[in-house]
Homo-oligomer: A and B are copies of this chain.
Amino acid sequence: MAVNLSEPTELRPVPGIRLGTAATGLKEAGRDDVAVVVFDPGASVAGVFTQSHFQAAPVIIAKRHAQGVRAWVINSGNANAATGAPGEDDARAVCAHLAERAGLELESIQPFSTGVIGERLNVAAIQHGVDRAFEGLNPASWLASARAIMTTDTVAKGASQVIQVDGHLVTISGFAKGSGMIKPNMATMLSFIGCDAQIEQSLLQRLVQRICDASFNRITVDGDTSTNDAFMVAATGQAAHRPILSEDDPGYQPLYDGLLQVAQTLAHAIVRDGEGATKFVAVRVKGGATAGECLSVAYTLAESPLVKTALFAGDANWGRLCMAIGRSDVAQLDPAGVSLWLDQVQVAAGGLMAPDYTDGAGSAVLAQDEYTITVDLGRGDSEETVWTTDLSYDYIKINAEYRT
């Protein structure tokens, strides 16, 4: 059902990173649901986390264990969210188990969880899975890890890229999961990228925030923000290029570009695999006075149930687009300045139907799997794009039957 999305055929190993997976029964029997990712000493690790007030226990612990990170331990099937102090103890117990097994400090291990909210973790089962994942650690298990963290995802999500930094090759590989509850107020669900670049940690942290703002912070499926969102990047420093120490370093931009491409591929994969998605739609808002108002209009369009059902139906009901633009949080928006396109077809000009527009031309665009809705607010130079899906029967089916 995912829109033009298939499992990656190859995810390249990244020097300095080994991965292992195991099945503990948290998901259906036999499917991997635990992944362990271990870094050689010297890696820089940075990340951004959910903005939810209800931060899950693993998020709280992962934020605390942010220095000298040596491993990630990830489980699917149970989010360990809304579980309070006992949930934090559970997350720490999982980390402690891996720490002991791997001869690492407890504080060097970051936990991540995704799945049902409000239930205690089966710590013993996960610890047992951690043992087996640890025994199986190897440089090649990227795709297996992508599969292990899936919940309602229908396709495992990963991407690889090899870039050049001052003449030396750097490998970037990443995997992600997410399908519903996708409104990255910050990051979205779980996404992990590893590379062998050499980059100083605080610089990597700023870089990751920039990457996030241009990828995971620009997608929405249903406007719902998870309690567990995390986007993590590890740079092992094993590539041969000179260390990247500042934004002015010539290696910074190629690394930014490479990481962004992998992050956007993963973010778009989450939308393409959005719950019940039949369309992959870019909503581009230009001509805004500020980036904030462009985002407000873009998200209002991207999250309006009436717009999303029209996208599902392939119905060029541009009145609903006007409705959504009209209720967006923009001060003193003048409809007479607003123009609208579906791909290259101009639908509205100056708040009215464009003279040459026909329903047939609009419907032809909306019949495609992928297209762009462009809005020109006609009041400035800012521009933002968000990516989203339609709202289909299957969204309801998936979410009404999730626990039953």
Contact with B along A219-256 (1 / 0, CB 8 A): 00011111100000000000000000000000000000
Known contacts: A53-B326, A79-B319. The answer to whether A309 contacts B396 by CB under 8 A is yes
Residue A348 interfacial (CB < 8 Å): yes
| Chain B residues with CB under 8 A of A380 | none
Residue A81 interfacial (CB < 8 Å): yes
The CA of A392 and the CA of B335, in the complex, are separated in Å by 33
Contact with B along A37-65 (1 / 0, CB 8 A): 00000000000000111110000000000
Residue A400 interfacial (CB < 8 Å): yes
Contact with B along A327-367 (1 / 0, CB 8 A): 11010011110000000000010111100000000000000
Residue A141 interfacial (CB < 8 Å): no
Least Cβ–Cβ distance between A159 and chain B, in angstroms: 27
Least Cβ–Cβ distance between A324 and chain B, in angstroms: 7
Centre residue among A51, A322, A397 by max chain B CB count within 10 A: A322
Contact assessment for B352 and A83 in the assembled complex, using a CB-CB cutoff below 8 Å: yes
Contact assessment for A54 and B352 in the assembled complex, using a CB-CB cutoff below 8 Å: no
Residue of B nearest to A225 (CB): B327
Contact assessment for A313 and B348 in the assembled complex, using a CB-CB cutoff below 8 Å: no
Contact with B along A360-404 (1 / 0, CB 8 A): 000000000000000000000000000000011101110111111
Known contacts: A79-B319, A118-B353. The answer to whether A326 contacts B52 by CB under 8 A is yes
Least Cβ–Cβ distance between A199 and chain B, in angstroms: 32
Considering the complex, which residues of chain A in the window 79-125 have a beta carbon less than 8 Å from any beta carbon of chain B? 79, 81-84, 116-119
Centre residue among A222, A328, A399 by max chain B CB count within 10 A: A399
The CA of A78 and the CA of B42, in the complex, are separated in Å by 66
The number of residues on chain A lying at the interface, defined by a beta carbon within 8 Å of a beta carbon of chain B, is 66
| Partner-binding segment picked from A17-25, A69-77, A179-187, A210-218 | A179-187
Least Cβ–Cβ distance between A379 and chain B, in angstroms: 12
Contact assessment for A305 and B223 in the assembled complex, using a CB-CB cutoff below 8 Å: yes
| Chain B residues with CB under 8 A of A79 | 319
Taking chain A's interface residues, is the majority helix, strand, or loop, or is none over half, making it mixed?
loop
Contact assessment for B400 and A322 in the assembled complex, using a CB-CB cutoff below 8 Å: no
Of the candidates B54, B82, B305, B401, the one whose C-beta lies within 8 Å of that of A399 is B305
| Chain B residues with CB under 8 A of A330 | 53
Contact assessment for A185 and B327 in the assembled complex, using a CB-CB cutoff below 8 Å: yes
| Chain B residues with CB under 8 A of A223 | 303-305
Known contacts: A117-B323, A227-B323. The answer to whether A335 contacts B82 by CB under 8 A is yes
Given contacts A81-B323, A84-B350, A226-B323, 6 further A-B contacts (CB under 8 A): A82-B318, A82-B319, A83-B352, A119-B319, A225-B326, A313-B400
9 A–B contacts from the bound complex (CB under 8 Å): A81-B322, A223-B303, A223-B305, A224-B304, A305-B399, A310-B400, A312-B396, A313-B400, A315-B404
